[in-house]
Amino acid sequence: MNAAHVEELLSAYLEGDLDADRIAEVEAHLALCPDCASLFEAVGGVREGLAAVPEINPPSDLLRKLYAVPERRKFRLVPDFLLRPSLQPVFAGVTGLLVFISFLMFSPDGRSFQKNVARQVHTGYSKAGKLYARAGAVTGEIASYKNTLLASLREAPLLKKGEE
């Protein structure tokens, strides 16, 4: 039995909730391990000190007054679910987006930025259209090469020898 296992069982040992085999194992470990023995003594001392504290029963009129106090609900401006830490990245992203949109809408440089973005988007679309057209032409050329290659392979003398 190791020290970590004894630390887990120490409370149950002090309260007498262990079976005889476990009690013997804990006592054998306490005899061999000075760290666990000092922990056992410290916990036992705290337990004895707490047992010496008298239990105080409050007067019944005090208990009645305490139970009569109504539960106060705090008014919150923001609902509790909005204060969850998991929503903080969402709020940060929305804040950044709003700052960017306000820059575009209200800044004199925002109009020129919008024009530059529109120009770049249109340039990208035209380049993509040209690439698409070029890819179609390349596909057509590859198909014609394939047909030519297959025809020349059919006519190859090496293949005809195997058929004879």
For the stretch 100-136, pLDDT in tens is 888 777 777 777 777 888 889 889 888 888 888 888 8
- 19 — phi, psi (to 5°)? -80, 175
Quick check: 163 pLDDT over 60?
A: no
49, 32 Cβ separation under 8 angstroms: no
Q: What is the pTM of this model?
A: 0.35
Higher pLDDT among residues 92 and 112, named by residue: 92
Residue 95 confidence (pLDDT):
94
Output the pLDDT for position 11.
83
What the block records as the tokens of 96 is 């950044």
Q: pLDDT-based confidence at 142, cuts 50/70/90?
A: confident
Query: What tens digit of pLDDT does each residue of 16-61 get?
Result: 888 888 889 888 988 988 888 888 888 888 888 888 888 888 899 9
pLDDT at 93: 95
Q: What is the pLDDT at residue 64?
A: 92
Q: Higher confidence at residue 72 or residue 163?
A: 72
DSSP for 45-108, please give it. HHHHHHHHSPP----HHHHHHHHHSPPP----SS-GGGG-GGGHHHHHHHHHHHHHHHHHHH-H
Q: Residue 96 above 90 pLDDT? A: yes
3-class DSSP state of 37: helix
| 92: confidence class by pLDDT, cuts 50, 70, 90 | very high
* Cα 14 from Cα 10, distance rounded (Å): 6
pLDDT of residue 159: 58
Listed residue (129, 58, 96) closest to 104, CA to CA: 96
